[in-house]
Structure 1
Amino acid sequence: MLINSLQNHNFLLSKLIQLKDLPYATLHFSQIHNPNDFTYNTMIRGLTKTWSNYTSAIQLYHQMRSSRFRPNNYTYPFVLIACANLNSLNIGRTTHSSVLKTGLGSDGHVAHCLITMYSRCGQLGCARRVFDGILDRDLVSWNSMISGYSKAGYAEEAVGMFGRMREEGFGPSETTLVSVLGACGDLGGLELGRWVEGFAGENGFALNSFLGSALISMYGKCGDLESAKRVFEGMTTMDSVTWNALITGYAQNGVWDKAINTFQQMRSEGTIEPDNITMVGVLSACASIGALELGSWIDKHTSQKGVRHDVYVGTALIDMYSKCGDLDRALQIFNDMPWRNTVSWNVMISALASHGRPQEALSLFGRMREEKDKRVSPDDITFIGVLSACVHVGWVEEGRGWFESMRGEFGLVPKIEHYTCMVDLLARTGRLDEACEFIESMPKKPDGVTLGTVLCACRKFNNVKVGERIANMLLEVEPSNSGNYVISSKLFANSKRWEDSAKMKGLMRERGVVKTPGCSWIEGDDQVHEFRSGDGSHYRAGEIYLMMDLLCEEMRIEGYIPNPSLV
């Protein structure tokens, strides 16, 4: 039996929050006839911290303001955190105004939460002004600002702030180091990242999941996968974040077989359940090497776990199925998604374009433009898919129209990739002189991809005049790309210009340029096998080459004659 007093009501409310019983806590709060500021604060804190029910927390804050109780320095931090998580800048600014009116602008905890709120809402200038206004800064102040810069993608500012912090005599905490490592990864700042690892070791920081995962992620982004694996193997306790950091590091650096093998190791150990981020990282590896069997298993697994409709998992599945050739399954997943972001639309549009279904790609782009969700709008990646669709179907004028609409209708500045699409469109349709004129009108110098597109078209249409001009430009841009020499040599050879063809081969030898060996992957028995041209290191290489000889003999008997000019 409860004694009907406010003190006991508050005690019970606190206990219900500790027990995470939201329905009963809400019911109990509604039955308190005369709640005080402590009761409101307790409930707002519970809604924010325990249940992550940020909308209800803000609603209760407004209710508190309309009553006779004034919010205080125990109220505002949780309200600001709710605004940060909801990305609600307007309410955040209104709350900041109330903070200033009540004279709590100098309160340290309130100021730190203001920095966090503005940072997460993308207002780093406002966050910095709050920080600069703190007269007596402590370590939490510095961490809030460094973390704000790092998470918002202002890596240089985060590193610079870290330098200022050390100059002013503050020793970094674990939170500081994790934020700085995130910035190092974004900047490719391997030297500073290694210094942070050394500092952590010298000062007794435990290599826990928080710090260890940040180190692995930093090394992965910087391309130092050996160090990432070393840190991983040196950790005594690991969680899904740790595994995800290593898997993602391998995937980001194109070491897809190791990404998949690490995932298989995670599964075989069975102590940690893969989460959405794990699935996205592994699916990107499956997409890159065509590991359809594993990708299909992940599809079934995510469906069983009820996470396949997560927008990131769904998008990764669309990408995987598209790149593995199962476009119908990709479309099915796309159409089944309850919500799609811009990336989801982009992946599906590009997949349709690259699989020779350009009309469907452009039709889907029309659907995207009609999308009522304001969070979805065409971006520069969308137009790469749209222009690629025009390339595949040879629609020059339509492609030109969409290219010009980027600036006029959508306010997007075309990038080198969009210029390359237009050059490809003109070149594939035989308008090689027009393609050259377009290259000359580009605001930036063309890259190897743009010029290579024209060179391949010159070989197709046997246009030696334009081809020779483009080849000379290519050898300046990419002097170490063997493909440029080979295609140029073939182009001259097809036109009986044997001396120029031989000159290209000689120039290739003179510069020490060698052909990059071909590489392929085959999935089997829950393993990914890598093969490189001329490589006999596989443990079953003898059997493989024997089978290849038998197949070649059967092809010869069937009458197959190779065409070396296409190589």
Structure 2
Amino acid sequence: MADRVLKLSMNFCEIDYTLLIFKCINFPDTFCVNTVIKAYASCSLPTKAVGFYFEMLEEDGVLFKPNSFTFPSMISSCTKTKDPNLGQKCHGQAVKVGVDRTLQVENALIHMYSGCGLNNTAWKVFDEMSIRDLVSWNSIVDGYVKSNNMEASHKLFDKMPVRNVVSWNAMMKGYLDAKNPGLVLKLFRKMVKTDVNMNATSAVTILTACGRSCRLKEGKSVHGALIRMSMDVTLIIGTSLIDMYSKNKRPDIANIIFNTILTKNIVCWNAMISGESIHGNPKHALQLFDKMLKPPNNDITPDEVTYIGVLCACTRESMLEEGQNHFLEMTKRFNINPSFAHYWCMASLYANHGLVKEAVEFLKNMPVDVGLSPQSSLWAGLLGSCRFNDDVATGEQIAKALIEDDPLNNSYHGLLMIMYAVGGRWEDVTKMKCMMEERGVSVPGFSLVELTEIVHSLKAEDYNISMLHKYG
């Protein structure tokens, strides 16, 4: 009876309760010890799990003989520490006990070594396995995906004898992180043809890819599939739908979905505010922001992304005073450190009012540690929408003024290159690249893919895709 209660307590991750019951058991056996180890591992306490293991080896009155069920959860949990030493210590014990060649232990070792970035060691375990199951294949593929080695992971993926939704999700997420939404959608089409149904993780990845690549038709298709599958529109799926429809210039549909979500978090609010400010009605974005700060939503605290949307809305509506007030509110009331995106919005706002000199001075006063690399599609959409009322020449003027004032500042060169990309002036982009190479100026983060993301929010007819390849 005590054993059953012990196992039940572990299911609820009540580690203190589990230990209390364990101490009440006379002469606890291997099953009891394994249960406590698994409880520690499930509660993300790998060091405690390993420590308890060694403690029980030396404890008098404990009938503990480690077996193949002792190690899998303990080894897998070591991934969370990102320190392979703890996992290697467990591996050594598994070898000593003689269970290191059992399937469950080998799968746990692959997961642990891959998660700690030791793909060569993970591969050695995988390569020496006498029997492999789907978990083995998924673990090794996911390990290479997480190390950004998509070439190796795809080769292994192609060799898999059987795939499930976890296999497809790993590959699609990898290509999404590698900023290749086109390949995400290509994989998704193949997955559908193999009769593998998507789950919530698949849906979020695919919808994000549809948003980044402006594929409204496919995004709608995924939305329709979710309805047909009667899949619950969770907060994360709902937010992904809002983001997808917004980036595809349908904030009206995004707003309908937004209103159906009863409990919203800051990510959800940000998706809708940014969607309206960049792709829809900026005034509605500001109304949403005001609503977010009032009851019953006043437990939501705005963050850096929120204010990118707010300031972008002010820029699109040429609301200088409101923009200034929001910038001050962001820094003073909410203690948010402005990023380059916030400074860029304010510079755009000044320039839209003909205050180019003030715009230049505002950017010159940025802290030196403010980064310029475009890391998100939101950043890209921002530059696409806040481009001085379509007057790229004004942005060029500001960037050149900054370079003249500080010619050694790499960020300003990158800014000018971005302005040319936003304006579709790809020949000037190429000239800038050549000039920077000649002068030895390095601007990290401005690859073809990222420049493509910068202009992705513009209408397709605004630029020629072939030009991206020609000047990349």
TM-score (norm 1): 0.61
Q: Does 1:264 find its partner at 2:208? A: no
Distance 2:387 2:248 in 1: 29
Matched, 1:211 2:98: no
Tell me, yes or no, if structure 1 residue 460 matches structure 2 residue 394: yes
* Aligned counterpart, 2:315: 391
Q: Are the equivalent residues in 1 in contact too, given 2:75–2:91 (CA < 8 A)?
A: no
| 8 Å contact from structure 2 (residues 111, 143) kept in 1 | no
Structure 1 SS opposite 2:3? coil
Q: Which amino acid aligns with 1:297?
A: S
Shift of 1:341: 3.4
Q: How does 1:2-21 map onto structure 2 within 5 Å?
A: none
1:533 maps to a residue whose letter is M
Residue-pair matches, total: 417
Assess if the C-alpha contact under 8 Å between 1:318 and 1:333 holds in 2.
Answer: yes
Q: 2:21 aligns with which of 49, 74, 99?
A: 99
Q: For residues 99 and 515 of structure 1, what CA distance do their matches in structure 2 show?
A: 58
Coordinate RMSD, CA, aligned: 4.5
Gaps of 5+ in 2: 58-65, 422-430, 457-463
| Amino acid of the structure 2 residue aligned with 1:81 | N
Question: Where in structure 2 are the equivalents of 1:224-373 lying within 5 Å?
Answer: 224-270=149-195, 272-307=196-231, 309-370=233-294, 372=296
Of residues 478-487 and 297-306 in structure 1, the stretch that sits farther from structure 2 once superposed is: 478-487
User: Is 1:81 equivalent to 2:11 in the alignment?
Assistant: yes
**Partner in structure 2 of residue 173 of structure 1:** 106
Residue 379 of structure 1 deviates from its aligned partner by 3.7
Distance 2:179 2:192 in 1: 21
- Quote the Cα distance in structure 2 between the aligned partners of 1:443 and 1:515: 22
Give how far 1:254 is off: 2.0
| Amino acid paired to 1:75 | V
Q: Go from structure 1 to structure 2 and tell me whether the alpha carbon gap of 1:307 and 1:470 turns closer, same or farther (over 3 Å shift).
A: farther
Change (3 A) 1:469 1:289: same
Structure 1 residue 96: Cα displacement:
4.8
Structure 2 vs 1, CA of residues 481 and 406 (structure 1 numbering), >3 Å: closer, same or farther?
closer
Counterpart residue number, 1:483: 417
Deviation at 1:435, TM superposition (A): 5.3
Which whole-Å deviations, capped at 9, do the CAs of 1:504-528 have from their partners, x for residues lacking one? 7983573599995986999xxxxxx
Q: Post-superposition shift, 1:155?
A: 5.4
- Larger RCO, structure (CA 8 Å, separation 6 or more): 2
- Change in CA separation of 1:532 and 1:439 when aligned onto 2, cut-off 3 Å: same
Change (3 A) 1:534 1:300: closer
Q: Deviations for 1:325-360, whole angstroms, at most 9, x for unmatched residues?
A: 111111111112344333222211110111252221
Change (3 A) 1:435 1:280: same
Tell me which amino acid in the other structure corresponds to 2:17.
T
Once residues 146 and 446 of structure 1 are traced to their aligned partners in structure 2, the CA distance between those partners, rounded to angstroms, is 38
| Aligned partner of 2:467 among 528, 533, 537 | 533
User: Greater shift after overlay, 397-406 or 386-395?
Assistant: 397-406
Partner of 1:132: 51
Q: Distance in 2 between matches of 1:311 and 1:222?
A: 29
Work out whether residues 110 and 125 of structure 2, in 8 Å CA contact, stay in contact via their aligned partners in 1.
no
Q: In terms of Rg, which structure is larger?
A: 1
My pick for the range that moved more, 160-169 or 320-329, is 160-169
CA distance in 2: counterparts of 1:213 and 1:288, whole angstroms: 26
Paired residue type of 1:343: V
Secondary structure at the aligned position of 2:135 is classed as: helix
Q: In the alignment, which residue of structure 2 is the partner of 1:10?
A: none
Shift of residue 415 of structure 1? 5.0
Q: CA deviation at 1:404?
A: 4.8
- Report the Cα offset of residue 408 of structure 1: 5.5
1:196 to 112, 117, 122: 122
Is the CA contact (8 Å cut-off) linking 2:210 and 2:216 kept in structure 1?
Answer: yes
Q: Does 1:510 align with 2:438?
A: yes
Distance 2:281 2:191 in 1: 38
Q: Deviations over 1:369-404 (max 9, x none)?
A: 346579955344333323333333344554454445
Q: CA–CA distance in 1 between the matches of 2:400 and 2:178?
A: 39
* Structure 1 residues 111 and 376, CA gap change in structure 2 (3 angstroms): farther
Please tell me whether the aligned partners of residues 358 and 392 of structure 1 are also in contact (alpha carbons under 8 angstroms).
yes
Give the Cα–Cα distance (whole angstroms) in 2 for the partners of residues 379 and 256 of structure 1.
Answer: 27
- For normalisation by structure 2, the TM-score amounts to 0.72
CA distance in 1, matches of 2:73, 2:299: 28
Give the 3-state SS of the residue equivalent to 1:472 in structure 2.
Answer: coil
TM-fit CA distance, 1:315: 1.8
Aligned 8 A contact 1:346 1:385 in 2:
yes
1:108 aligns with 2:42: no
Q: Which amino acid aligns with 1:360?
A: H
Partners of 1:473 and 1:104 lie apart in 2 by 74
Q: Which secondary structure state, in structure 1, belongs to the residue aligned with residue 4 of structure 2? A: coil
Per the alignment, residue 499 of structure 1 pairs with none
Partners of 1:307 and 1:313 within 8 A in 2: no
Instruction: Answer whether contact 2:107 2:139 (CA < 8 A) is retained.
Output: no
Q: Give the Cα separation in 2 of the matches to 1:504 and 1:262.
A: 36
Match of 2:404 in 1: 469
Structure 2 letter corresponding to 1:251: L
- Percent identity reads 22
1:76 Cα deviation from its structure 2 partner: 2.4
Write the distance in 1 (CA, Å) between the matches of 2:403 and 2:448: 23
